[in-house]
Amino acid sequence: MNVVTRFAPSPTWYLHVWWLRTCLYNYLYAKNTGGKFMLRIEDTDRSRYVEWAIENMVEMLTKLWLNIDEGPNNPWNAWPYLQSERLDIYKKYVQKLLDEDKAYYCFCSSDRLDKLRKEQEQLSLPTKYDKKCRYLSEDEIKEKLEAGEPYTIRLKVPENQIVKFKDTVKWKIEINTKDIDEQVLMKTDGFPTYHLANVVDDHLMEITHVIRWEEWVPSTPKHILLYGAFGWEAPEFVHLPLLLWMDKKKLSKRQWDVAVEKYIEKGYLVDALINYMAFLGWNPKSTEEIFSMDELIANFKLENLNKSGAVFDVEKLNWYNSKYLVAWDINDIYEKFMAWAEIYDNNFYKNTLLKADNEYNKSVLLELKTKIKKFDEFKEQTTFFYSDDIKVDTDIMLNEKMKITNMEIVKNGLNLTLNTLKNLEWEIESIDQIKTIFIEAIKEAWMKNWQVLWPVRVALTWEKFSPWALEMMYILGKDKSINRLETLMENL
């Protein structure tokens, strides 16, 4: 069997993180089995349609390297992949069901259906259609159609039968047809419902595995009945457990940023985001947690999907991202960082990063990549690397624990540092080199290391928390370090 999977979102918003996980699992399984991965846009619910959402979906999948084999705008498409462009196909198959007496016209108004639902709720009964129009005579139907009465088309559900299907995650599920509503297949506006379009498209596109969230489990018996009505073989169903927030409630837009674009905008690496999302519901049966995309594809098995919900933990995502930042070569990280900054912080990119030397930027990033969790933290923690504006705060230069109790001690430390730097006949080549020089100079001056390095660090950064003095001197270089220390001494 040639595996074919699909990701079929509705264009109602940005790409959600739970949609990303669904899409990722479909992609990984297709690639693991040498199959095909499709993108289909289910845009038949026009009341919730958002015009820019389709473009956003395609763009985000490209950024996430989830390349589709077939989907919207591909020149080699076999047919349209937007359901709104497939209306004639759905009408053809609905007519087939009508002709075979497997569906019927329903002329009930929305007011009647609302009233029926409320009555059933008051009596604590299941809310479903009462089949009023199922038994209309042909003459009654003809009369209503000729009168132009609005209608929907419903499926005729067989009475008192057991619908069974096997779910890869949920195992065997059985339901009696007496508990299944006679679903609407075609709405009054001529658009199909999700149920009809979903089944017809999955069959025509030869989808072998339907991988979707577990919220669709109650709808699956309806789909099984539709497959049976058409005489088609149903695909294999795989219903994924829900994504939960830290309070173990279903993840939603109201709780946190759930748009994938927001995580890209904050500077999470695609590799880390994909790696983390893969583990939200799947276990590789290994102690390893860091997987490349190729490794995820090679190891992904449907039988290793979890049955219970997975908690979306931002701190765990931060952990993944920091692991990638630390492990990757600085040149690779720098390339990704500059590409990110150009798009998401263009002012900083143009007015600061491009005006600095590439090697200088790399040195700064190398120093900070173990301290930041994502790219959007870089600018906040690097003000002192890119600005020479002196902000004198003598209070933070003093430190009783280090026995720096007066400004005379501060000035002695700064003067020793200035003289040592000015006597250097070469540029600073490494932190180890400058460490050797300064430890010796401080020792010869009969001073303590911290009595020199603390005020120097503050003098170079003007901050209470920053990289240490030796790291700062190495990154800034000899001339810039001398200039900052002299400027500060003048202000003191």
Residues with catalytic roles: 253
Give residue for tokens 């995309």: 293
How far is the C-alpha of 486 from the C-alpha of 473, rounded, in Å?
14
Among the listed residues 48, 57, 52, the one whose alpha carbon sits nearest the alpha carbon of residue 16: 57
Residue 68: other Cβ atoms inside 10 A: 22
The beta-strand segments (E) located in 4-117 are: 4-7, 36-39, 103-106
Q: How far lies 48's CA from each of 43, 51, 361, in Å?
A: 9, 10, 45
Cβ atoms of 239 and 167 closer than 8 Å: yes
Using CB atoms within 10 A of its CB, is residue 490 exposed (0-12), middle (13-18) or buried (19+)? exposed
Show the tokens assigned to 81: 């992949």
List, in order, residues 6 or more apart from 343 with CB less than 8 Å away: none
- For residue 248, is it left (φ>0), alpha (ψ between -120 and 50) or beta? left
Q: In 55-182, where do the E strands start and end?
A: 103-106, 152-155, 162-167, 171-176
DSSP 427-455: ----HHHHHHHHHHHHHHTT--HHHHHHH
Query: Which position has the token pair 């739970």?
Result: 18
